């Protein structure tokens, strides 16, 4: 670790523990709010309605239209409900898609947000909003986007299907792995990233075996908080650039794409960032890329991009887009090397490094 760094702690309140989502009304009140709009996806509407019922007079309604990648049209629909209901805060109950909608509303209105995450995506602790308009995804970073309160209640993740639990966790682990070699890393971000990886390594095998194991669910959610926090505080590199390319241009599913690509980008960067990645290599058995691939395989995670509907003929274009305006990366990026990486990820080969 360099002796020169800049560190800024997050302003968010983190409320963690089984059953603590019952405190949502207290947190709405502490924020000085009284008219809450509860947000969810259509799939989690019943849970959002139950939450609104629990809030009683503190709730002004439910908007259950959140979808992946925060399309601006959906945000505008939700904004009409915000205006019509006179909401003065939002509570987002769900994964990254619902959190994204809450952030999009906060970015436009500065309304305070309480987020109750039910996946491991990590968006709830970042000041970053990705939104799509006419098929184009853009990203903004602004203080108003960072949610004020996050309530991590592992009881709400007990029913997260095992497959989604695994891919969502690997998505979070990708934030932690890239944080370890980030150019602007600091001692706290590296501690958090390492602890996040350790928490997932310990908890995921238990979740696969016993999905309703509350302790394992709490450990994974703790890993999600840590990994999301480093995503919000240090810069991401090649891995996130490739996943944005695949998701943005070829519409591959977000968490599965991260899960498949991670061992390959980790192995690619291990060559140039061996010391920074040493804590991850130690956790995953000596080799970071191969170790992550073995871990993903043991959890029955998807391993090949070809299984996501990506065709081999798309790989040239994906390599071209992913190497245009590249993010800073510890290892220089050249197109043939990224094309070879994508071929391995497409075929589902085990990386060696």
Of 51-59, 126-134, 297-305, 318-326, which segment contacts ligand NAD by CB under 6 A? 126-134
Determine the Cα–Cα distance for residues 246 and 107; give it in Å rounded to an integer: 26
> Which one among 24, 27, 28, 44 touches ligand NAD, defined by CB under 6 A?
44
| Closest to 225 measured CA to CA, from 4, 5, 16, 21 | 16
Q: In what order do the strands lie in the sheet with 149-152?
A: 13-16, 149-152, 113-117, 89-94, 36-39, 59-63
> Which one among 13, 69, 274, 331 touches ligand NAD, defined by CB under 6 A?
69
Determine the Cα–Cα distance for residues 114 and 95; give it in Å rounded to an integer: 13
Of 10-18, 50-58, 91-99, 274-282, which segment contacts ligand NAD by CB under 6 A? 91-99
Measured in whole angstroms, the distance separating CA 286 from the mean position of its chain's CA atoms is 26
| Three-class secondary structure of residue 221 per DSSP | helix
Determine the Cα–Cα distance for residues 325 and 136; give it in Å rounded to an integer: 16
Decide whether 212 or 335 has the Cβ nearer to ligand NAD.
Answer: 212
> Which one among 25, 65, 95, 112 touches ligand NAD, defined by CB under 6 A?
95
Q: How many residues make contact with ligand NAD (CB under 6 A)?
A: 28
Q: Is 43 in the site for ligand NAD (CB under 6 A)?
A: yes
DSSP H helices in the chain: 24-30, 45-55, 72-85, 96-109, 162-180, 187-209, 214-233, 238-250, 254-270, 274-283, 288-298, 315-322, 335-347
> Which one among 25, 65, 71, 94 touches ligand NAD, defined by CB under 6 A?
94
> Which one among 75, 92, 126, 329 touches ligand NAD, defined by CB under 6 A?
126
Other beta carbons less than 10 A from residue 33's beta carbon? 19
Q: Is 160 in the site for ligand NAD (CB under 6 A)?
A: yes
Q: Is 130 in the site for ligand NAD (CB under 6 A)?
A: yes
Of 4-12, 95-103, 195-203, 217-225, which segment contacts ligand NAD by CB under 6 A? 95-103
Q: Is 254 in the site for ligand NAD (CB under 6 A)?
A: yes
> Which one among 65, 96, 102, 223 touches ligand NAD, defined by CB under 6 A?
96
- For residues 75 and 128, the answer to whether their CB atoms sit within 8 Å is no
Determine the Cα–Cα distance for residues 289 and 266; give it in Å rounded to an integer: 5
* Residues engaged in binding ligand NAD (CB under 6 A): 41, 43-44, 68-69, 94-98, 100, 118-119, 121-123, 126, 128-130, 156-157, 159-160, 168, 231, 254-255
């Amino acid at each position: 670790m360099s002796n020169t760094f800049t560190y800024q702690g997050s302003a968010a309140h983190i409320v963690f523990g089984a059953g603590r989502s019952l405190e949502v009304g207290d947190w709405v009140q502490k924020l000085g709010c009284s008219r809450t709009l509860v947000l969810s996806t259509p799939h989690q509407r019943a849970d959002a309605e139950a939450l609104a019922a629990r809030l009683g007079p503190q709730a002004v309604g439910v908007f259950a239209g959140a979808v992946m990648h925060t399309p601006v049209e959906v945000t505008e629909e939700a904004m009409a409900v915000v205006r019509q209901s006179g909401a003065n805060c939002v509570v987002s109950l769900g994964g990254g898609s619902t959190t994204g909608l809450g952030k999009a509303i906060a970015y436009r209105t500065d309304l305070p947000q309480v987020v109750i995450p039910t996946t491991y995506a990590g968006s709830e602790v970042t000041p970053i909003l990705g939104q799509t308009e006419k098929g184009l995804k853009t990203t903004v970073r602004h203080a108003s986007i960072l949610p004020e309160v996050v309530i991590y209640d592992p009881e709400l993740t007990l029913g997260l299907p095992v497959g989604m639990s695994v891919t969502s966790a690997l998505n979070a682990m990708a934030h932690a792995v890239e944080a370890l070699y980030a150019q602007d890393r600091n001692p706290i971000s590296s501690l958090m990233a390492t602890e996040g990886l350790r928490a997932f390594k310990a908890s995921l095998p238990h979740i696969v075996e016993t999905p309703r194991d509350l302790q394992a669910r709490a450990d994974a959610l703790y890993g999600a908080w840590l990994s999301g926090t480093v995503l919000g505080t240090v810069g991401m590199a090649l891995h996130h650039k490739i996943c944005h390319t695949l998701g943005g241009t070829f519409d591959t599913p977000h968490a599965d794409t991260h899960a498949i690509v991670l061992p390959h980008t980790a192995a690619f960067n291990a060559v140039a960032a061996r010391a920074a990645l040493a804590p991850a290599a130690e956790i995953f058995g000596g080799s970071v890329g191969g170790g992550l691939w073995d871990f993903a395989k043991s959890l029955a995670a998807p391993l090949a991009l070809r299984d996501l509907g990506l065709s081999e003929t798309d790989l040239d274009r994906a390599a071209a887009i992913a190497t245009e305006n590249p993010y800073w990366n510890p290892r220089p990026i050249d197109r043939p090397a990224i094309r070879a990486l994508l071929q391995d990820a497409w075929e589902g080969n085990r990386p060696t490094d």
